[in-house]
């Protein structure tokens, strides 16, 4: 767990430096904010380790699924390459899948 946290924090810090152009602000977001959140959760006994992993997994998985669906839509709209074959966008399926992802996030959090 610790080594994966280090790898992800280094890459997230580089992303924040690229976006914000400020090293100190990116350090605060990557290092101090998670530490304060962990201390708050531990001090007030809001959740245990498994609950925190479940919340993190369902939020990141749900948002990743929704972003993949939205990326597919934008790629079809703004893509300049003429594909060999094309499948039309089915808004009903995209809506149902997005609702499933959002329902999963909702039920895990509340």
On whether both 30 and 5 belong to a single domain, the answer is yes
**Cβ neighbours for 73, distance < 8 A, ≥ 6 positions apart:** 89, 94
On whether both 29 and 69 belong to a single domain, the answer is no
pLDDT digit string (tens) for 29-73?
Answer: 888 888 898 888 888 888 888 888 888 889 999 999 999 999 989
User: What's the whole-model pTM score?
Assistant: 0.64
Quickly count: other Cβ atoms within 10 Å of residue 101's Cβ: 20
On whether both 8 and 62 belong to a single domain, the answer is no
**Cβ neighbours for 54, distance < 8 A, ≥ 6 positions apart:** 108
On whether both 56 and 90 belong to a single domain, the answer is yes
**How many structural domains compose the chain?**
2
On whether both 70 and 24 belong to a single domain, the answer is no
């Amino acid at each position: 767990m610790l080594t994966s946290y280090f790898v992800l924090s280094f890459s997230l810090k580089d992303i924040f430096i690229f976006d914000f152009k400020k090293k100190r602000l990116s350090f605060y977001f990557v290092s101090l904010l998670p530490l304060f959140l962990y201390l708050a959760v531990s001090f007030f006994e809001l959740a245990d380790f498994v609950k925190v992993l479940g919340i993190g997994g369902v939020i990141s998985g749900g948002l990743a699924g929704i972003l993949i669906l939205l990326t597919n839509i934008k790629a079809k709209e703004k893509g300049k390459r003429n594909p060999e074959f094309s499948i039309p966008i089915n808004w009903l399926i995209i809506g149902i899948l997005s609702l499933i992802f959002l329902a999963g996030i909702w039920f895990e959090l509340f």
